[in-house]
Amino acid sequence: MKLTAKGRATRQRIIEGAAQHLRSEDASGVTLDDIRAITGTSKGQIFHYFPDGKEELFLEVAKYEADRVLEDQQPHLGALTSWPAWERWRDSVVARYRAQGRSCPLGTLLGQVVTTPGAAEVVTVMTEQWQAHVRAGIAAMQAAGLVRPELDGSRVAGAFIAGIQGGVQMLRSTGDTWHLEAALDTLIEHLKR
Amino acid sequence: MKLTAKGRATRQRIIEGAAQHLRSEDASGVTLDDIRAITGTSKGQIFHYFPDGKEELFLEVAKYEADRVLEDQQPHLGALTSWPAWERWRDSVVARYRAQGRSCPLGTLLGQVVTTPGAAEVVTVMTEQWQAHVRAGIAAMQAAGLVRPELDGSRVAGAFIAGIQGGVQMLRSTGDTWHLEAALDTLIEHLKR
């Protein structure tokens, strides 16, 4: 669907309004009428921008939340070129998830659209981008002679992604960032040795 | 509830029969009548051993599956006292989850009993035991002079648990054990350095 600049802005306003609402509400109970009321849009507008209805809107909100996961780590994640930069990134990841606590807007949303085409891709695309940033950071550190050249950067970047995902999962069940911090600190320590 | 040896055996037979059935079926669609039919038990027997019904039985099946997660890693997990032992353990973890693939009996079951008292504890207890085994393995390697004494074994054991949990989560979305292997190999490499 081709949209005018104004159309794109309206569509984005609906997505962001829905995202904000879904962060504080149980996603399974939220209806399109709730979203309409909150974003001050008509039924016609919602279906104009999201012809497939709730599932399509929720998937777009999930994509928006996935983008935020990465944005919340910037500018650190995109410039892992010194040890202080790695520590700032580490702190930004821990702070982000500590603030989120046991809740996980992205996970909850994806649970609602699990059978929607494209839902599985949201996480895959996000983790691929995330991992590529970490991989680029390791390569930059190797180019600067700060990380040993024989280290397999791709594999260690994969370990970071696994460690963060698992740390966040542990946070969701324990309410504590301890595992997330243990994973990040151990892997940064591994880069340094 | 005090049970005779015969009672305990019957109860265990119901749990194991239910576990096997739930591994191949969508847990949300399975009823107590299905379990009765499969295990050849009467309604009275089921409610005798599981007075709270389906939720109680499913929770017991979840505990059984959690025990199996650890048992499938034995005897390696309980004797991480040499580098070959760590590699055998690593291989047993990867083989176990590769065989399981995208499905996750424990995760699916816990999704069914999420509001049942004790459900959250199943994962917490399992990961604590798992982490304690890894922690003991690192301590044994340090005592043998095979791992540097200044390494914080508790924290690195936590990183293993996070990396495995996240690796399994990535397997569930990608169908590939690559992240799980990257996490295990990187952390074992970290112990060796």
Residue A106 has a pLDDT of 84
Enter the tokens of residue B89: 């353990």
Among the residue ranges A93-107, A124-138, A152-166, the one predicted with the least confidence is A93-107
> Are B186 and A190 inside 8 Å of each other by CB?
yes
Predicted confidence at residue B187, as pLDDT, reads 98
Determine the distance in angstroms separating the CA of A162 from the nearest CA of chain B, rounded to an integer. Answer: 4
Q: Give the ranges where chain A is alpha helix by DSSP (H).
A: 5-24, 32-39, 43-49, 54-71, 83-100, 105-112, 119-143, 153-174, 178-192
Is B163 in contact with A183 (Cβ distance < 8 A)? yes
- Is A124 within 8 Å of chain B by CB? yes
Torsion of CA B76, B78, B84, B89, to 10 degrees: 40
Q: Check B159 against A127: CB less than 8 A apart.
A: no
Residues 6+ apart with CB under 8 A from A178: A170, B158
| Gap between the Cα atoms of B127 and A77, Å rounded | 29
How is residue A143 written in tokens?
Answer: 């180019």
Which CA distances in Å does A124 have to A166, A188, B144? 15, 24, 42
Under the banding of pLDDT at 50, 70 and 90, the label for residue B1 is: low
Chain B residue with Cα closest to A114: B173
Measured CA to CA in angstroms, residue B24 lies from A188, B104, B108 at distances of 41, 11, 11
Cα(B157)–Cα(B132) distance, rounded to whole angstroms? 8
Fold of A5-61: Arc Repressor Mutant, subunit A (1.10.10)
Instruction: Tell me the one-letter amino acid at B68.
Output: R
Select the more confidently predicted residue: B123 or A92.
A92
Least confident of A156-160, A185-189, B105-109, B137-141: B105-109
Confidence check on the interface: ipTM exceeds 0.85, yes or no: yes
Taking residues B169-174, what's their average pLDDT? 88
Residue A155 and residue B182 in contact, taking contact as beta carbons nearer than 8 Å:
yes
If you ran DSSP here, which 8-state letter would residue A113 be given? S
> In this complex, do B158 and A169 lie within 8 Å of one another by their Cβ atoms?
no
Residue B111 has pLDDT above 80, yes or no: no
A166 neighbourhood in chain B, CB within 8 Å: 161-169, 183
**SS3 category, A73:** coil
For B67-103, letters b (16+ CB in 10 Å) and e give eebeebbeebbeebeeeebbebbbebbbeebeebeee
CA distance linking residue B34 with residue B39, whole number of Å: 9
Please give the share of chain B, as a percent, with pLDDT higher than 70: 99
Identity of the amino acid at B18: A
Answer whether B162 sits within 8 Å of A174, measured CB to CB.
no
Residues B185, A139: Cα–Cα separation, whole Å: 19
C-alpha A41 chain-centroid distance: 27
Cβ-based neighbours of A20, under 8 Å, separated by 6 or more? none
Q: Mean pLDDT over residues B131-135, rounded?
A: 98
Q: What is the 3-state secondary structure (H, E, C) of B84-126?
A: HHHHHHHHHHHHHHHHHCCCCHHHHHHHHCCCCCCHHHHHHHH
Q: From 2.30.30, 3.90.1210, 3.90.1640, 1.10.10, which CATH number describes the B5-60 domain? A: 1.10.10
Length of chain A: 193
pLDDT score recorded for residue B102: 83
Least confident of A10-24, B59-73, B101-115: B101-115
Residue A5 DSSP SS3: helix
Domain boundary assignment for chain A: 5-61, 62-192
Spatial CA neighbour of A35 closest among A49, A22, A44: A22
Kindly compute the dihedral angle of the four CA atoms of residues B125, B126, B127, B130, in this order, to the nearest 10 degrees: 120
Secondary structure (3-state) at A36: helix
| Per-residue pLDDT band at A1 (split at 50, 70, 90) | low
Question: Mean pLDDT over residues A143-151, rounded?
Answer: 97
